[in-house]
């Protein structure tokens, strides 16, 4: 891969990691707020179940799935950040190798 490709992939992985971490922060809170808002112990109508009351077990299932979503998105975001860091490190290594190759050459032999 070229230096430009390393840099581009590093930036893309970093941006995707930020997006995943934003999802990990926002989505579980939105789901929990919606479930808690629609779940009332005395309510006969729930907007989630379209007229059917939500049971305590269903409420706990939704909240558990929201936690799973948050941890999954957090893991994906962290993994993408690790990929971004690996790309940037390999870019720096490639730049150092190219620099050392350029210094090893004798500038007077190029014209010959």
Domain boundaries, the chain: 3-97
**Cα separations (Å) of 85 from 3, 11, 13, 90?**
14, 9, 9, 9
The 10s digit of each residue's pLDDT in 7-51 is: 888 899 999 999 999 999 999 888 888 787 776 555 555 555 555
3-class secondary structure, 33: helix
Burial of 97 (0-12, 13-18, 19+ CB in 10 A): exposed
- Taking residues 82-100, what's their average pLDDT? 86
- Taking residues 82-90, what's their average pLDDT? 90
Note whether 73 and 27 are within 8 A (CB).
yes
């Amino acid at each position: 891969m070229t230096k430009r490709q390393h840099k581009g992939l590093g930036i893309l992985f970093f941006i995707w990691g930020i997006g995943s971490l934003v999802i990990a922060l926002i989505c579980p809170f939105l789901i929990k707020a919606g479930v808690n808002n629609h779940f009332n112990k005395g309510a006969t109508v729930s907007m989630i179940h379209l007229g059917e009351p939500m049971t305590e077990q269903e409420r706990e299932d939704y909240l558990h799935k929201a936690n799973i979503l948050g941890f999954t998105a957090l893991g994906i975001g962290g993994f993408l950040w690790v990929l971004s860091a690996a790309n940037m490190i390999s870019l720096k290594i490639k730049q150092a190798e190219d620099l050392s190759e350029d210094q090893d050459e004798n500038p007077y032999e190029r014209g010959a």
